Structure 1
Amino acid sequence: MLAFDQEKAEQFSEQLLSLLNHAALALMISIGHRSKLFDTMSTMEASNSEAIAKSAGLNERYVREWLNAMVTGGIIDYEAEQKLYHLPPEHAAFLTRASSPNNIAVMAQFIPILGNVEDQILDAFMHGGGVPYEAYHRFHSVMAEESSQTIYMALLDKIIPMVGGLQEQLIQGIKVLDIGCGYGRALNLMAKNFPNSQFYGFDLCEETIMNANSLAAQEGLNNIHFLRRDLAKWHEQNQYDCITSFDVIHDQAHPKEVLRAVYQALKPQGVFLMQDIKTSSHVENNSNHPIAPLIYTISCLHCMTVSLSQNGAGLGAAWGEELAEEMLKEAGFTQIEKRYLEHDIINTYYIVRK
């Protein structure tokens, strides 16, 4: 039996206390984002809590307590003598909407969302099964907000040009499908900029399709179509010049079947652009990944369990590049290229052809 290492125990105790503080701060960062307190403070000089609350249109007592959490967490500066609070520009660069796509505060919203399903997840730990999509209040809207940073803002200038010849084809006019389209912001952007092409978006959730159609109608687009589809039961042959999936495949109940359906639906010279979480399939290779604990947590509390709720594979967000390539080959694809974008530390972009 190994001897008890007291120093190691004390270090771990300190690590746990730090972890609890950071977990609490994540909740407060989410509130700071949703209330626009970070946005408000980024435009103000050092101010007292009354002035900050007034400028933000919020209750002063709550704002003051939030500010004190931010001060003790090292996020906001404080001048004790005059009781003034200030958001340093170096911190605002990662906490405000103006700083997008570098606004990390967006991702903090996942923590309270996932916390809301803890009881259901615990039940699944004990009895199996999973938690369905419908249990996740605000998840789709936060995903859309996060995707707007990684996908939407880079789509025209970085992502589409990454696929050789795609931009020219879109200008001329092709048929494009986005599977798991969510609110359809990426597809709407493409439809708006490439009017000669036809765009289709499939999603399982009725709420997301309703929102996608509403947004398309607001834009006055007539070259885009959003439809509710269960991808596990979707079968088309040689229909699309380009199929895209943004952070979708790992959530699927039956990912192998979906990838096979993508292969069949793609025209012989078509391209499949698959964006998914950048990890290894082997946990030991993810030890130095900057957000590995967050990825595994989101996977356990959302991605994996929504798949299992449909009696699915439970692939999880950290399925990894090795398994992704293996499954793409099993689906029939022979040309698989992996690409990465500097602004996006979370995802791998797979450019895939038959």
Structure 2
Amino acid sequence: MGRFAADYGAVLHAPLVVLGEQLGLYRALAMRPMSPAELARETGTTERYVAEWLAANAASGYVEYDADTSRFHMTEEQVAALADANSPTYISGAFLVGMAMFRDVSHIAEVFRSGEGFGWHEHDHSLFVGTAKFFRANYIANLLSSWIPALAGTQQKLEAGARVADIGCGHGASTVLMAKTFPRSTFHGFDYHPESIEAARHAAEDAGVEARTSFETAPAKAFPGNGYSLVTFFDCLHDMGDPETVLRHTLGALEPEGVCMIVEPFANDSLSENLNPVGRIFYSASTMICTPASKADDKGLALGAQAGEARIRALATSAGFTRFRRAAETPFNLVYEARP
């Protein structure tokens, strides 16, 4: 019952986090301590609703309450997690992903019975937005500081000028981040979801890198172009129905000394080793999103979000890559380097 109380409180609080992000409540409260009335005036909302929202957030540990002044405030850590969209620990997008999972329960129940798939494009729109926001924070934290530097010689190529393909780019968070950092290189994002490609183009324009980026609707196993110095897969290879064919096509698209970077959710190779809080997150998301997406694609291998290094290595080797290693890791991701 103790576990239930904590979990149920978190589930019920999730929509309040989404409200706080959408209404700008966290961003406003991050500026200074406020009473419910002051926060309501600052955000153009109603005091009574804001008062209840603040109480729930204080009980959840997402904001702080000062009983002496009857005002609420946010700590530096709370601001980084909930109010600063450019923070490497910004988590609000994760709750949008959770909302999409709830909204799609009836669809997933049907595929449980039929054994069919449910494509990424079929999910509620909040999944696409939430994934972009949540994953962007992870890329801000790790992509430039540790993941790319871990690929031997790759950062130097990008600094000098290279051609990069970002497969399964979604809203382009990873593509745009790399384009902003390496102005001499060109970046090509591919995704089979037209709505995401359109969002990626807007993101590139907003970031001022549209001249060095292109985004195109294309399947992962047939994305166009060749001679790429770097091909990236950010948290998406396991979602694909036929990842071996995808990797074989990738091998043909690389230049002779090119590299394929595969970023996957952190997972050990055995189920028992993944029965922990991180595994809980990934197995749950995989049940609702990753496995159905793969089942909806050709072959439907359904690796799941906890595939583990041995299975990814076997796929890369079968596809023709001769060199494969774990290049980097975080508590939430494993980064693999595959070379011809």
Do both share a fold (TM > 0.5)? Answer: yes
Residue 266 of structure 2 corresponds to residue 278 of structure 1? yes
Distance 1:193 1:98 in 2: 18
Q: AA paired with 1:160? A: I
1:21-60 matches, within 5 Å, as 21-45=9-33, 47-60=34-47
Q: For the structure 1 residues 98 and 180, does the alpha-carbon distance in structure 2 shift closer, same or farther, using more than 3 Å as the test?
A: closer
Query: Is 1:227 the counterpart of 2:213 in the alignment?
Result: no
> Aligned-pair distance for 1:111?
1.3
Shift of 1:350: 0.8
Q: 2:153 & 2:190 partners in 1: Cα distance?
A: 24
Q: What is the one-letter code of the residue matched to 1:213? A: R
Cα distance change on mapping 1:82 and 1:271 into 2, 3 Å: closer
What does 1:68-87 align with in structure 2 at a 5 Å threshold?
68-79=55-66, 83-87=70-74
8 Å CA contact 1:94, 1:105 repeated in 2: yes
Structure 1 residues 146-200: Cα deviation after superposition (integer angstroms, max 9, x where no partner): 2221114543343322222112222333222111112223323433444443322
Letter matched to residue 117 of structure 1:
D
What amino acid is the match of 2:19?
Answer: I
Residue identity matched to 1:175: R
Q: Which moved more, 1:80-89 or 1:222-231?
A: 80-89
Tell me which structure has the larger Cα radius of gyration.
1
Report the equivalent of 1:259.
247
Structure 2 counterpart SS, 1:161: coil
1:347: which partner in 2? 333
Distance in 2 of aligned mates of 1:215 and 1:95 = 21
Query: Which deviates more from structure 2 when the two are superposed, residues 266-275 or residues 193-202?
Result: 193-202
The match for 1:319 among 274, 299, 307 is 307
Report the alpha carbon displacement of residue 66 of structure 1 after superposing the two structures with TM.
1.3
Q: For 1:186-225, what aligned pairs fall within 5 Å after superposition? A: 186-217=174-205, 219=208, 221-225=210-214
CA deviation string 1:190-231 (max 9, x = no partner)? 334444433222110111222223343452643332221112
Letter in 2 for 1:333: F
Distance in 1, Cα, partners of 2:316 & 2:156 = 26
The equivalent of 2:286 in structure 1 is 299
Quote how far apart the aligned CAs of 1:50 are.
Answer: 1.0
Distance 1:202 1:217 in 2: 17
Tell me which residue corresponds to 1:112: 99
Measure, in 2, the Cα distance between the counterparts of 1:306 and 1:98: 28
In the alignment, the residues of structure 2 paired with residue 212 and residue 255 of structure 1 have an alpha-carbon distance, to the nearest angstrom, of 23
User: Paired residue for 2:151?
Assistant: 163
Q: Rate the CA distance shift 1:82–1:175 in 2: closer, same or farther, 3 A.
A: closer
* % same residue: 29
Letter of the 2:54 counterpart: L
- What is the alpha-carbon distance in structure 2 between the residues aligned to residue 156 and residue 14 of structure 1? 40
**Could you say what secondary structure the match of 1:32 adopts?**
helix
Distance 1:232 1:155 in 2: 24
Query: Is the Cα contact below 8 Å between 1:152 and 1:185 reproduced in 2?
Result: no
8 A contact 1:27–1:111 mirrored in 2? no
User: What residue identity is the alignment partner of 2:338?
Assistant: V
Range 24-33 or range 256-265, more displaced: 24-33
Is contact 1:235–1:261 with CA below 8 Å preserved after alignment?
no
Quick one: distance in 2 between partners of 1:79 and 1:192? 42
What secondary structure sits across from 1:296 in the alignment? helix
Separation in structure 2 between the aligned mates of residue 217 and residue 81 of structure 1, nearest angstrom? 47
Q: CA deviation at 1:14?
A: 2.9
Q: For the Cα contact (< 8 Å) 1:197–1:223, is it kept in 2?
A: yes
> Counterpart of 1:279 in 2: which secondary structure?
coil
Alpha-carbon shift at residue 314 of structure 1 (Å): 2.1
Instruction: Compute the displacement of 1:348 (Å).
Output: 0.9
Structure 2 gap ranges (5+):
none
CA shift in 2, pair 1:249/1:281, >3 Å: same
Aligned mates of 2:187, 2:5 — CA distance in 1: 50
- What SS does the aligned partner of 1:97 have? coil
User: Cα distance, 1:275 vs. partner?
Assistant: 0.9
- What amino acid is aligned across from residue 347 of structure 1 in structure 2? N
Q: Give distance in 1, aligned partners of 2:86 and 2:182.
A: 28
What is the CA distance between 1:101 and its match in structure 2? 0.8
> Closer, same or farther in 2 for the Cα pair 1:314/1:201, shift >3 Å?
same
> Runs of 5+ in structure 1 lacking a partner?
1-12
Cα distance in 2, alignment partners of residues 298 and 68 from structure 1:
29
Count residues in correspondence.
Answer: 337
CA 1:167–1:210 in 2, change beyond 3 Å: closer, same or farther?
same
Shift of the alpha carbon at 1:272? 0.7
Cα distance, 1:291–1:59 mapped onto 2, change above 3 Å: farther
Cα distance in 2 for partners of 1:217, 1:87 equals: 33
**How many Å apart are 1:121 and its aligned residue?**
1.0
